[in-house]
A and B are shown apart, each in its own frame.
Chain A
Amino acid sequence: MLISFICGLLFGLGLIISGMANPAKVLGFLDLAGNWDPSLAFVMAGAILIGFFAFRYAGRRKTTLLGKELKLPAAAQIDRRLIVGSLLFGAGWGLAGFCPGPALVGLGMGLPKAMLFVLAMLAGMVLFEVIERRRGG
């Protein structure tokens, strides 16, 4: 539990330091045709640089360093759900400049607009659960 908390905290601090907690900066990256701010690409590069070695090491292990079960995603198919979901997510991301992590950090800053976004996002996730359960998922 403490480890999860620290990871969440470090993740959030990373978002703040990188500037990605600011939707205007994220939209500056997504505005390729305008005055483009490439910063987001540098955030991805930094995160993937560490992640690449961490996950390569994790892939060789069966348990974590604490002896727990190590859960790496097994799904490999690029199916319709992945494609449609990513299209929908990308459009929402482009509209507001918020993805889930920065929205939660914005919530932590006490910003009313971030709170509204998080509420709408939670409603969307509940909607997904309702649809999936109706379909017997």
Chain B
Amino acid sequence: MTIDFPHFTPWPAFAGGLLIGVAAAILILMNGRIAGISGIIGGLLRPNKGDLVWRLAFIGGLILAPSVFGIFYVLPEVQIDASWAILTIAGLMVGVGTRYASGCTSGHGVCGISRLSPRSIAATLIFMATGFATVYLLRHL
């Protein structure tokens, strides 16, 4: 392993992380909900009364974030190397997987670990390890 110092951005990463934490904090303390993206999207597929609007509003905010950011700053460059076929397979796996696991990087990784939930810590360790293993297989074998 070597550290990729030219790409390593600890301070913006930490600052962005704080902002994500603030968003999760406001959502739980004001609305009483967990900021788990896969759960918020997935909940749209089994709608309960009075449950739809806050989900759509949150997703709307997330989707509009680049436009709002773009008013003040130039958007950072985004690089998607995966092919269309791989993106389709990966999307399916992320969709099914996060629903079975009841959470993703936000719900388990951020909110769950913040709650010190053993279930979320286990989920995060598993998907991180699988992510590391997948990239290793793709790039180094």
Report the bound CA distance from A90 to B128 in whole Å.
Answer: 6
Interface size classification for chain B? 35 or more
What residues of chain B lie closer than 8 Å to A58, measured between beta carbons?
Answer: 28-29
Assess whether A90 is in contact with B134, with CB atoms less than 8 Å apart. yes
When chains A and B are docked, how far (Å) is the Cα of A30 from the Cα of B133? 8
Cβ contact within 8 Å between A85 and B4? no
Interface of A is mostly: helix
| Contact between chains at A51 and B111 (CB < 8 Å) | yes
Considering only CB atoms and an 8 Å cut-off, how many residues of chain A contact the other chain? 114
A68-B31, A82-B123, A94-B138 given as contacts; is B94 within 8 A of A100 (CB)? Answer: yes
CB distance from A67 to the nearest CB of B (A): 10
Separation of A21 and B98 alpha carbons in the complex (Å): 18
**Among A75, A85, A97, A116: residue with most chain B CB under 10 A:** A85
Taking a contact as CB atoms under 8 Å apart, the answer to whether A4 and B31 are in contact is yes
Cα–Cα, bound, A42→B141 (Å): 28
**What CA separation (Å) do A38 and B38 show in the bound complex?**
24
Tell me how far the C-beta of A97 lies from the nearest C-beta in chain B, rounded to whole angstroms: 7
A120 touches B91 (CB 8 A): yes
Cβ–Cβ < 8 Å partners of B26 in chain A? 3, 6-7, 10
Binding site for A on B (CB under 8 A): 1-4, 7-10, 12-35, 37-38, 41-42, 45-46, 53-55, 57-69, 75-82, 84, 86-102, 104-106, 108-119, 122-124, 126-136, 138-140
- Which A positions have Cβ atoms within 8 angstroms of B? 1-25, 27-28, 30-40, 42-55, 57-59, 63-66, 68-73, 75-78, 81-101, 103-109, 111, 113-114, 116-129
Q: Which 7 A-B pairs have the closest CB atoms?
A: A124-B95, A46-B17, A12-B65, A18-B16, A8-B61, A120-B91, A90-B130
